[in-house]
């Protein structure tokens, strides 16, 4: 049957299993929105307050489900407003399809009204992108885009569609989506044996698990290998919630604000086993930091092997499949002396300030953890509050920590939490924010209120850009240039103005009753203004460029 390009697009999305799109209309996508109206019983379109919010919502939808998130924007500024969200998804390997409209084909390249080369702009931050210049290619492009976004190392794909393509007609016939198969082509017996040999010979192994564990859903396999070889395990920021927080072999997060145990063990091990992490500069990205250890790296992306750290053995392939084939080759180990060292280091916990009289991040996340019935998902903005959440909340289920790791995008969390809530109606979704980050995209409260989404926003309010201020304190002799916000914003009134509910917490005894009231409120978003001192810092900390075991603690300063 002959259909317009707009209808072919919508029917192709339905064929791919898309049930929700986040977007904002404009002239170049009016034909698409007309078809979204016609197909509103099959695809739910969520109108966000800003296109950036739409891209973060699609990202949160994807991170919390493993499905592909979809966002839609018009040409020009609508398309460029997606760029930060696309880059965020790209850095963290999140499957997303971004659809943009553009001017008609005769006007391309002529500096037309609201014309921009969005394909050129996003080329470095997408797995692939398309400009559809032939109506007969549109359906095929959509199929390819969804396959590429999910295949191998996931990531965002952009489809740019000129307006006249959405009006033109072509034959449409339903096509069954190509099944995405796990990458196994390069998983050889030789590679598996070389990795197994190093693990079996190691006396002090240490596992560094990254976001690849989440992407491949290798949770059970990770637990099995940890327990078989009795290795301490740390997670990167992107892998938090992939391993049980209360497991005796878990040492916490690794990296700049990782636990003392994780960072010291990584520097003292004789074999570092990297599972799906990219040797980031916020963790380990130089050989010198682990100079006494041999290194094993398992990753789906061959470009990550030997990129930052030279390895002694590696396997390229889907982590779940690699671990399933590797585990039978491994010997059971006890590592008694090494585990005794681990337990000694785990006892060196960060100073707990939750029992002091003042409000602290530790107190907030301890009480929040106690209330979690196993349904809590925490999205975060970026800054001190993000690190405190990663350090102190007890994550109980996989995919329950939704945070911008690689790009570090302030303003990410609220849009992301909307996407998470849309995809997980049975979950309790929080956005952990700082007052600085919240101010960037707080307009998305309107989206949550309009759609009656019961997202709970907790603003860890220190009246400053806390993480930048912390660096100024340590490395710039306390010259607080433009980081003290001196804010006069009343966040309770902001919540109410957007149609939500607001609370303020000044005293410790107020917190639990407020949290319980927030949990009971289901009619829309809740904002909790949790006021802490602006000198509260994130510890432990490793200075930029320092060795991973050169840890700054609160006692040191």
Q: Which of 356, 355, 389, 358 lies closest to 533 in space, CA to CA?
A: 358
Instruction: Kindly report the number of other CB atoms within 10 A of residue 246's CB atom.
Output: 7
> Is the distance from CB of 273 to CB of 256 less than 8 angstroms?
no
Calpha distance 96→67 (Å, rounded): 8
344's enclosing H/E stretch is: helix 336-346
| Spatial strand order in the sheet of 205-209 | 250-253, 233-235, 205-209, 271-275, 294-299, 313-316
Q: Which of 416, 551, 534 lies closest to 478 in space, CA to CA?
A: 534
Phi-psi region of 330 (alpha: psi -120 to 50; beta: other; left: phi over 0): beta
Structure tokens at 373: 């019935």
Catalytic (active-site) positions? 51, 113-114, 163, 467
**What is the rounded radius of gyration, in angstroms, for the C-alpha atoms of the chain?**
24
Calpha distance 318→299 (Å, rounded): 7
Question: What phi, psi does 143 have (nearest 5°)?
Answer: -60, -45
> Is the distance from CB of 115 to CB of 160 less than 8 angstroms?
no
> Is the distance from CB of 236 to CB of 261 less than 8 angstroms?
no
Q: What is the chain's percent helix, strand, coil content, to nearest 5?
A: 40, 20, 40
> Is the distance from CB of 276 to CB of 216 less than 8 angstroms?
yes
Q: Which of 166, 174, 342, 315 lies closest to 248 in space, CA to CA?
A: 342
> Is the distance from CB of 73 to CB of 23 less than 8 angstroms?
yes
DSSP string for residues in 242-302? SS-TT-TTEEEE-STT--HHHHHHHHH-SEEEEES----TTT--SGGGGTTSEEEEEES-G
Q: Exposed, middle or buried, 419 (CB in 10 Å: 0-12/13-18/19+)?
A: buried
Calpha distance 321→410 (Å, rounded): 35
Instruction: Kindly report the number of other CB atoms within 10 A of residue 392's CB atom.
Output: 20
Give 486's contacts (C-beta < 8 A, 6+ positions apart).
Answer: 463
| Spatial strand order in the sheet of 44-47 | 44-47, 20-23, 69-73, 96-102, 156-162, 128-131
3-state SS assignment for residue 158:
strand
Question: What phi, psi does 173 have (nearest 5°)?
Answer: -135, 130
Give 124's contacts (C-beta < 8 A, 6+ positions apart).
Answer: none
Calpha distance 451→447 (Å, rounded): 6
């Amino acid at each position: 049957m002959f259909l317009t390009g707009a209808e072919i697009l919508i029917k192709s999305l339905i064929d791919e299993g898309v049930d929700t799109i986040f977007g904002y209309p404009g002239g170049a996508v009016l034909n698409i929105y007309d078809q979204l109206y016609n197909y509103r019983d099959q695809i739910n379109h969520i109108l966000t307050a800003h296109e950036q919010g739409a891209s973060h919502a699609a990202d949160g939808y994807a991170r919390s489900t493993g499905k592909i998130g979809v966002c839609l924007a018009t040409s020009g500024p609508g398309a460029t407003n997606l760029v930060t969200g696309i880059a965020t998804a790209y850095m963290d390997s999140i499957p997303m399809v971004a659809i943009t409209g553009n001017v008609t084909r005769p006007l391309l390249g002529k500096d037309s009204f609201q014309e921009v080369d969005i394909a050129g702009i996003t080329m470095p931050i997408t797995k692939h992108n398309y400009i559809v210049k032939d109506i007969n290619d549109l359906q095929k492009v959509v199929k390819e885009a969804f396959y590429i976004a999910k295949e191998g190392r996931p990531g965002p794909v952009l489809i740019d569609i000129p307006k006249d393509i959405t009006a033109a007609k072509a034959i449409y016939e339903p096509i069954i989506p190509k099944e995405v198969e796990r990458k196994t082509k390069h998983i050889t017996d030789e590679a598996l044996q070389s990795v197994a040999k190093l693990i079996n010979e190691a006396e002090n192994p240490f596992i560094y698990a990254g976001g690849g564990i989440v992407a491949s859903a290798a949770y059970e396999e990770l637990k099995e290998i940890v327990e078989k070889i009795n290795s301490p395990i740390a997670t990167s920021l992107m892998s938090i919630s992939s391993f049980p927080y209360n497991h005796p072999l878990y040492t916490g997060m690794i990296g700049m604000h990782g636990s003392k145990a994780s960072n010291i063990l990584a520097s003292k091990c004789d074999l570092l086993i990297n599972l799906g992490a990219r040797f980031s500069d916020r963790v380990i990205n130089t050989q010198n930091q682990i100079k006494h250890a041999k290194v094993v790296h398992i990753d789906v992306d061959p470009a990550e092997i030997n990129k930052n750290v030279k390895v002694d053995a590696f396997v390229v392939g889907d982590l779940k499949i690699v671990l399933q084939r590797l585990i039978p080759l491994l010997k059971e180990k006890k590592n008694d002396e090494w585990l005794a060292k681990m337990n000694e280091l785990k006892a060196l916990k960060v100073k707990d300030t939750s029992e002091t009289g003042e409000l602290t991040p530790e107190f907030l996340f301890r009480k929040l953890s106690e209330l979690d019935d196993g349904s809590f998902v925490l999205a975060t903005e970026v800054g001190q509050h993000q690190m405190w959440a990663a350090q102190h909340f007890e994550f109980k289920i996989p995919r329950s920590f939704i945070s911008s790791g690689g790009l570090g995008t302030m303003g990410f969390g609220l849009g992301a939490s909307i996407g998470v809530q849309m995809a997980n109606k049975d979950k309790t979704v929080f956005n952990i924010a700082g007052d600085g980050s919240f101010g960037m995209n707080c307009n998305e409260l309107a989206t949550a209120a309009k759609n009656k989404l019961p997202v709970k926003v907790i603003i860890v309010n220190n009246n400053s850009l806390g993480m930048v201020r912390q660096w100024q304190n340590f490395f710039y002799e306390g010259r607080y240039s433009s980081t003290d916000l001196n804010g006069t914003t009343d966040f309770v009134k902001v919540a109410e103005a957007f149609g939500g509910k607001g609370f303020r917490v000044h005293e410790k005894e107020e917190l639990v009753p407020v949290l319980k009231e927030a949990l009971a409120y289901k009619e829309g978003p809740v904002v909790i203004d949790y006021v802490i001192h602006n000198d509260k810092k994130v510890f432990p900390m490793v200075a930029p460029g320092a060795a991973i075991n050169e840890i700054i603690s609160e006692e040191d300063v």
